[in-house]
Amino acid sequence: MSADPVPAGEGMRLNRYLAAAGLGSRRGCESLIAEGRVRINKRQAESPGERVPDGAQVTVDGRPVQAARAVVIALHKPRGVVCTASAQDRRPIITELMPKSFGRLFTVGRLDADSEGLILLTNQGDLAQRLAHPKHKVEKEYRVKLDRPPDEAVLRQMEKGVRLKEGLAKAERVFSSSRLEVRIILRQGMKRQIRLMFRTLGFTVERLKRTRIGGLELGHLAPGAWRVLSGHEAGKLEEMP
């Protein structure tokens, strides 16, 4: 006789468990369940909302899978490092900076190769997708060095909006911090947004550094250095809308 389903409220939701095992996003894992490929203690799983109790055996296509302990890492990405792997790109990849003991890691958002600063990595694919999705409008702060001093009109235009191919790009706030450097806060996430906005206005970005994501600061992390977030810090990220 097959085992009884686990009562609601006990254990981790099955779709989250599979995502934590590195099998993809929660939505992708729901397809595995719908196709009848997932079993809990030899019983075919019926819905993504089923709970997986501690010590239960979960299999996909007959092969055991195990949810990894959730980890979120803050990393200071150096310049010259790329965030995605490419067969044509021989530059260092951001995940190569991390110990292999973390297993598969997903980046939360991206920084282009010429940019540096705070980036998050996690073994929870669904969390990475949720934090990076533009609809959540998570604040990100940058320090930007330009090739020449911008006047007040340029800074206000960045806030009003600059038309790019991808659409109207706008900064939440822009502050002048020195003659050639500005601080910019964004909620949008267009590709190379800051560089393209300034280029449209006749400026060249010479250096771009992300210093904050939400309430998490880069702090004193040196380029290439990283740290695992505390449970409290990771919890705050998961609570973002």
- Residue range 153-159: mean pLDDT, rounded: 97
pLDDT value for 9: 45
Q: 239 falls in which pLDDT band (50, 70, 90)? A: low
DSSP 100: G
Q: Which of 2-16, 103-117, 194-208, 226-240 has the lowest mean pLDDT?
A: 2-16
Tell me the range of 107-116, 131-140, 205-214 where mean pLDDT is highest: 205-214
Phi-psi region of 136 (alpha: psi -120 to 50; beta: other; left: phi over 0): alpha
pLDDT value for 240: 63
Report the CATH architecture of 139-213. 2-Layer Sandwich (3.30)
Q: Are 50 and 6 in contact (CB under 8 A)?
A: yes
- Residue range 209-229: mean pLDDT, rounded: 94
Report the percent of the chain where pLDDT is more than 70.
90
pTM attached to this predicted model = 0.76
pLDDT value for 127: 74
Give residue-wise pLDDT tens across range 77-98: 999 999 876 656 678 889 889 9
Give residue-wise pLDDT tens across range 41-61: 999 999 999 999 888 999 999
Q: Which residue has the tokens 């002048």?
A: 176
Active-site pick, 54, 61, 89, 112: 112
**How crowded is the C-beta side of 64, counted as CA atoms within 13 Å?**
6
* Fold held by 72-133+221-238: Alpha-Beta Plaits (3.30.70)
| 59 bridge partner residues | 39, 64
Instruction: Return the CATH number of 12-65, one of 1.10.3470.10, 3.10.290.10, 3.40.50.1220, 3.30.470.10.
Output: 3.10.290.10
Burial of 111 (0-12, 13-18, 19+ CB in 10 A): buried
Q: Do 72-133+221-238 and 139-213 fold alike per CATH?
A: yes
Tokens read off for 72: 């979120």
Burial of 120 (0-12, 13-18, 19+ CB in 10 A): buried
Known active-site residue 112 = yes
Q: Which residue has the higher pLDDT, 215 or 129?
A: 215
pLDDT value for 88: 62
Domain boundaries, the chain: 12-65, 72-133+221-238, 139-213
